[in-house]
Structure 1
């Protein structure tokens, strides 16, 4: 009986060895796609270093200021965002170094608290327009955005202007001062412009937020760059995305004035694919 335990222990370690090999093979296979993305990313970076970067100078701030301002719309869908929407609007207005823009905030008729906050900001800032979704919320984000888009088109007609681009943001976003100038520089040549979305700094012990930040940074800094290089398709992140006027008009014409797909919860990914099907150009601006 005493000799049985050493044999049992030996069998246990042999099982661990085989199990380790199996797990290692599974991990290796699952990492092949990541290895492919890494290889394409760095080979592309090397190629661009010897071609594009030696032929063209990096974009400068002065070039952004030299470009005449075009009219730009910013749309912000809001459902139960009464605790953050006012701060977001105030921060945006104080931060943006741009004049010709209008902010359209979409609210629902049964969300009185958010309506009150947006109306308070509207009385303070002339460039703010509140758009009311004519039915109770919540609905999908795409539904709210479609009503906002129609309000933007109506605003163009009533004011005799055309928005060169429309930017999508959320109620928690913090904008860069030169964001609109950057979009203005690329419009109307590019139909979908996605800028990197970065998180605010977090404490080291915010582990869940830290993992999300790392994944999003890698996604925007590498994965989407590779996707653009291989397929020419850039999915919207749902924030920090600018659509050209031509893009929204084209999608509206084919979808009964509903450019955002209400049949999916990934309307940001869907709209990038549909624009690519129309041969429109999209870029990840990194």
Structure 2
């Protein structure tokens, strides 16, 4: 009988230890979730207040496609940095040009001299679309995305001087992006009144069994649908997501003036970390 009782001591110690560990982990999770709780509470409180105030007043009517289309089109530049993107760049450009209902725009694709496949694809598309310009980075790649973008920005300013135009803003996109038909209309409506505009970035829908891609969808929906509006409301600032970002011409000139014509930080692997 005593032997049977002694055998339960290790098990009892194990379960007591497990309870303490579980309690500790629960407290840590609770503490780490307080910021999420604050964001949720702030977001839904703000939505409730806006539902009975701003959204009900005549002066704050919801923006519609008709409002966007009624604004005269300003020239807009689209920046697309490309390194080893031969497999996707032509599809992206073709999809973008055919989807956009905006007409007054030019596309600037940055390529590297040691990436002939991407150059060939961009040149092939350039022969199809007169609004497409290829910008060659003067040194071999790969480099960080910011470096490529800095050369693209300089090419945009040179294009302005050569053709006697001024772009209202420059939009940043990647080679994998699918662009909404009215995206440029929205930027045209907000710029130059706003110096930086970040539209929500959402993942394409996936099948129910694609669990990893599903978490990606959830993260972007949560961040761009709730967290960013809360951040803008609290601080008046919105960070760039690295895609779907429009910089006004004034903002680009200010960044160039402060950084010796290097508006994007080449010390960072991701150019959008310190922009917003």
Q: Settle same-fold status: TM greater than 0.5.
A: yes
- Report the equivalent of 2:51: 49
CA–CA distance in structure 2, aligned partners of residues 20 and 249 of structure 1: 54
Q: 5+ unaligned residues in a row in structure 1: which ranges?
A: 273-286
State the secondary structure of the residue aligned to 2:223.
Answer: helix
Q: 5+ unaligned residues in a row in structure 2: which ranges?
A: none
2:16 to 14, 17, 33: 14
Give the stretch that moved more between structures: 168-177 or 206-215.
206-215
State the secondary structure of the residue aligned to 2:127.
Answer: helix
CA–CA distance in structure 2, aligned partners of residues 266 and 170 of structure 1: 12
Aligned residues: 272
Give the stretch that moved more between structures: 1-10 or 187-196.
1-10
CA–CA distance in structure 2, aligned partners of residues 252 and 176 of structure 1: 29
Contact 2:144 2:270 in 1 (8 A): no
- Report the equivalent of 1:24: 26
**Is 1:124 aligned to 2:131, yes or no?**
no
State the secondary structure of the residue aligned to 2:264.
Answer: coil
Alignment of 1:11-160 (within 5 A): 11-55=13-57, 56-160=60-164
Contact 2:83 2:118 in 1 (8 A): yes
State the secondary structure of the residue aligned to 2:272.
Answer: helix
Contact 2:168 2:248 in 1 (8 A): yes
Contact 2:89 2:118 in 1 (8 A): yes
Alignment of 1:106-255 (within 5 A): 106-255=110-259
CA–CA distance in structure 1, aligned partners of residues 9 and 112 of structure 2: 70
CA–CA distance in structure 2, aligned partners of residues 183 and 256 of structure 1: 27
TM-score (norm 1): 0.92
CA–CA distance in structure 1, aligned partners of residues 81 and 126 of structure 2: 15
Structure 1 consecutive aligned stretches of length 4 or more whose deviation exceeds 6 Å: none
- Report the equivalent of 1:271: 275
